[in-house]
Amino acid sequence: MYEFERKTQGSLKFKKEAKQIMPGGVTANIKAFSPHPIAMKKGEGAHLTDIDNNIYIDYLLSYSALILGHGHPDVKAAIYNQIEEKGTWLYGSPHQLEIDFGKLLQNYYSSIEMLRYTNSGTEATLLALRLAKSYTGKQKIAKFEGHYHGGHKQVLFSISPSEDDWGNITHPNAVPDSKELKNSSFNSSIILPFNDLEACEYILEKNYHHIAAIIMEPVQEGFISANIEFMKGIRRITEKLGIVLIFDEVKTGFRVKMGGAQSYYNIELDLTALGKVIGGGFPVGVVGGKSDILMESAPQEKRNKPSDVLFHSGTYNGHPMILSAGIATIKVLENKINDIFNMTEYLKSNLKDIFNEKGIESKILGIGSMFNIALTNRDIMNFRDYQSSDFSLRKKIDLALLNEGVYNKPCNRYSLSIYHNYEVLNKTLYAYKKVLSTI
């Protein structure tokens, strides 16, 4: 801890000043960690430089958004082209890139018959749920314990509940994850146990008259996979009961496969929410899916009551500069994504060997270009299994790795970019060997 604080005195000073401007000194709660977050000033490729001039290999990658790393030239060129050749960064009207980007997504996501643009993954999941409720006429939703879908109130339940509040393993409690919901009578969310098909079927059969949609992370937190039988079963049940099935692929889109986790599991969805990677690091979201559901939001040419159409709007929806960056990102990934997957497997395999050599029980979890390290000997199938991990030791390791120039928020998942090559990964492995020998 002393070495970390010694090397990041500028970040500590930054935090003290930032707390006078922003609550807690951060613009998003997730950016905070103790003893203090690190303030950055420069990014290049696979690296970040902080305000104390420490250089890090970046595995946070803006919570997985930067699959092309920092400052990729093709993304820069796309943005410059939009500004210089097209003369503006915002039309405020329909434009060709909305169609071009949409068609690119449809090439990889067969379930996307139509789509709408938003400005973030949170907005995308919010719109997906609104569409499902408008389409079905029902108001409740079902979500899974431990799954995160953004910062709107219907999904702010049972993301990280304490063990005292869990409830029965086959029928989890709906536990508020935000203070304003703590004493509220609002609760239209039913909580499901991930990877337990029998329990899910029982809960859904009992409540389907009220449930508009199930929303789920097909890979929980980006690293806990669903088994295929579970995923196929959830699709079967939702079709039988008339419940809209939504995959929140904000994390997994293009990171599990080009076609996301739905392609990996071969599941045909009703709605998909996308974000992060698809904007090349810029704020963007997409809701795509079945035409009859998306048409709930189509404006009517003839004047009618506003309540006859699901209202969805936003000045920055389909922002041309961001869609330009997104198209450039997808075109690079088409040729490079397997390289990223191969590098990820190399890092995972070698990390597992290092933990084994040091006699530390561990599970390396994840598909594609994301993974996480659970310090436990237990199989991890859901949120409760993951809580068996030794988070105290993991945090000590992660803080020590920061001192060695390996950047991640403590206990967070790892994400790789096209710049994470063998040289970068071997430096990471050397840092791990050093840290685990002295921790």
Q: Which of 212, 243, 215, 239 is nearest to 138 (CA)?
A: 212
Rounded distance, CA 204 to CA 227, Å? 19
pLDDT > 90? residue 138: yes
Arithmetic mean of pLDDT, 134-162: 96
Whole-prediction pTM value? Answer: 0.96
Give per-residue pLDDT as tens, 30-39: 999 999 999 9
Give per-residue pLDDT as tens, 399-439: 999 999 999 999 999 999 999 999 999 999 999 999 999 98
Arithmetic mean of pLDDT, 172-187: 84
Given a contact cutoff of 8 angstroms between Cβ atoms, the answer to whether 307 and 41 are in contact is no
Give per-residue pLDDT as tens, 211-248: 999 999 999 999 999 999 999 999 999 999 999 999 99
- What pLDDT, on a 0 to 100 scale, did the predictor assign at position 307? 79
Query: Helix/strand/coil (H, E, C) string of 187-234?
Result: CCEEEECCCCHHHHHHHHHHHCCCEEEEEECCEECCCEECCHHHHHHH
Lowest-confidence pick of 175-189, 308-322, 348-362: 175-189
Give residue 2's pLDDT band: very low, low, confident or very high (50, 70, 90): confident
Q: CA dihedral in degrees (236, 241, 244, 247; nearest 10)?
A: -30
Percent of the chain at pLDDT above 90? 94
Give per-residue pLDDT as tens, 369-407: 999 999 999 999 999 999 999 999 999 999 999 999 999
Question: To the nearest whole number, what is the mean pLDDT of the chain?
Answer: 95
Arithmetic mean of pLDDT, 310-322: 96
What is the phi/psi pair of residue 340, to 5°? -65, -45
Rounded distance, CA 1 to CA 410, Å? 13
Given a contact cutoff of 8 angstroms between Cβ atoms, the answer to whether 325 and 79 are in contact is yes
pLDDT > 90? residue 336: yes
- What pLDDT, on a 0 to 100 scale, did the predictor assign at position 8? 95
Rounded distance, CA 405 to CA 58, Å? 9
Give residue 1's pLDDT band: very low, low, confident or very high (50, 70, 90): low
Arithmetic mean of pLDDT, 298-304: 76
pLDDT > 70? residue 284: yes
Domains detected in the chain = 2-71+336-438 (3.90.1150.10), 91-318 (3.40.640.10)
Give residue 293's pLDDT band: very low, low, confident or very high (50, 70, 90): very high
Q: How many CA atoms are closer than 13 Å to the CA of 172, on its beta-carbon side?
A: 29
pLDDT > 90? residue 182: no
Given a contact cutoff of 8 angstroms between Cβ atoms, the answer to whether 420 and 46 are in contact is yes
pLDDT > 80? residue 306: no
